[in-house]
């Protein structure tokens, strides 16, 4: 666990949209998984709730920049694997945003 305002070594050696050192400008969230079994309903619910809290805490955060490890460190990371349902997560997040009024 690392508080929102603290820096961790979550992404490691990484790059996103031409900018290196993702730990300096991103927030990392880890889900427990193996890549072989689907993520659970509870994991999607908690991830969407946490993301909503982050959007509230950081209003300039853009949901189009929510990505997986594989997007920032493809030579070293492959998660959240094909078992992660990105459309499901994004739809659930949108439902929570609509219900809360968070833009």
Q: 68 with 80: CB under 8 angstroms?
A: yes
pTM attached to this predicted model = 0.89
Residue 10 counted as domain residue:
no
Give pLDDT, residue 85: 97
DSSP string, 14-80: -EETTEE-GGGT---------SSSPPPHHHHHHHHHHHHHHHHH-TT--GGG---HHHH-TTT--TT
Give pLDDT, residue 89: 98
Tens of pLDDT along the chain (103 residues) come to 788 788 888 899 999 999 999 999 999 999 998 889 999 999 999 999 999 999 999 999 999 999 999 999 999 988 898 999 999 999 999 999 999 988 7
Domain carrying residue 44: 15-100
Number of structural domains found in the chain: 1
Residue 6 counted as domain residue:
no
- What is the CATH number for 95? 3.40.80.10
Catalytic-residue membership of 32: no
Give pLDDT, residue 50: 96
Residue 37 counted as domain residue:
yes
- Identify the active-site residue in 6, 30, 36, 45: 30
**Of residues 12, 1, 6, 21, the one with CA closest to residue 75:** 12
């Amino acid at each position: 666990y690392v508080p929102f305002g603290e820096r961790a070594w979550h992404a490691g050696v990484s790059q996103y949209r031409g900018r290196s050192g993702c730990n300096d400008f991103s927030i990392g969230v880890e889900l427990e998984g193996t890549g072989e079994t689907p993520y659970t309903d509870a994991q999607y619910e908690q991830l969407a709730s946490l993301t909503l809290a982050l959007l509230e805490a950081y209003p300039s955060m853009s949901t189009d920049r929510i990505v997986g490890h594989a997007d920032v460190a493809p030579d070293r990371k492959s998660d959240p694997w094909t078992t992660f349902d990105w459309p499901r997560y994004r739809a659930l997040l949108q439902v929570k945003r609509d219900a809360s009024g968070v833009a």
